[in-house]
Amino acid sequence: MSGTDVRTPMAGGAAMVRPLAWVWMGIVIGVSFLATPVKFTADSLTRPVALDVGRATFHALAYLEWSLVAVAAALSWHATARGHHLSRRALTAAAVIVVALALQSAWLLPALDERVASIIAGTEPPPSHLHTLYGVVEITKVAALGLLGAWATPTATRSESPTQTAAARVQP
């Protein structure tokens, strides 16, 4: 190799948003679409116990996801402070994720908690579409995480010229 090492800069923290989105998507798929349905196939686990475990699991997942929102926001802010930003498509996907998580945390989880509490107390609540709606929001969130992972490529701000960008890549 020559004496000049040419590298693509990390663009602050924006380059880390892509792997964060993929890992986050894997966590949601693992919890929501694998572990949760499998739990209800265990013969020794009663429905009230499975629902109680599910309630605890989904609250823990929500806390983790809000932490990941904070990490992604910090990475994006770090990149912006260094002259890079995520595309509008990536920011739109991120906004969909935040709205989905807010719907789940502020409305759907508390409403589903009430239903679980009734079942644990021995009362079967009337039929509801809350669980289906939660699933639709979860699928939407997974799709948005996939899109964020695909679209989270940091780009230079308009004020940064191609010469400045090329100069930043050359490391002695």
Asked if 168 contacts 84 with a C-beta cutoff of 8 angstroms, the reply is no
Lowest mean pLDDT segment, chosen from 19-28, 48-57, 78-87, 96-105 = 78-87
What pLDDT score was predicted for residue 92?
97
For residues 152 and 18, give the distance between their C-alpha atoms in angstroms, rounded to a whole number: 5
Contact 128, 62 (CB under 8 A): no
Average of per-residue pLDDT across 95-123: 98
Q: What is the mean pLDDT of the chain?
A: 87
Helices 88-103 & 130-151 angle (0-180, nearest 10): 160
4 versus 155: which is more confidently predicted? 155
Tabulate helix, strand, coil % of the chain (nearest 5): 70, 5, 25
Query: What's the average model confidence in pLDDT over 22-29?
Result: 98
Q: Please, which residues bridge with residue 85 across strands?
A: 155
| Mean pLDDT lowest among 14-18, 29-33, 134-138, 157-161 | 157-161
Q: Tell me the whole-structure pTM to 2 decimals.
A: 0.83
Contact 94, 72 (CB under 8 A): yes
Quick one: average pLDDT of 110-117?
98
Chain CA centroid to CA 163, Å: 35
Scored b (16 or more CB within 10 A) or e, 56-86 reads: eebeebbeebeebbeebeebbebbbebbbbb
The 10s digit of each residue's pLDDT in 63-107 is 999 999 999 999 988 888 888 888 999 999 999 999 999 999 999
State residue 156's pLDDT score. Answer: 64
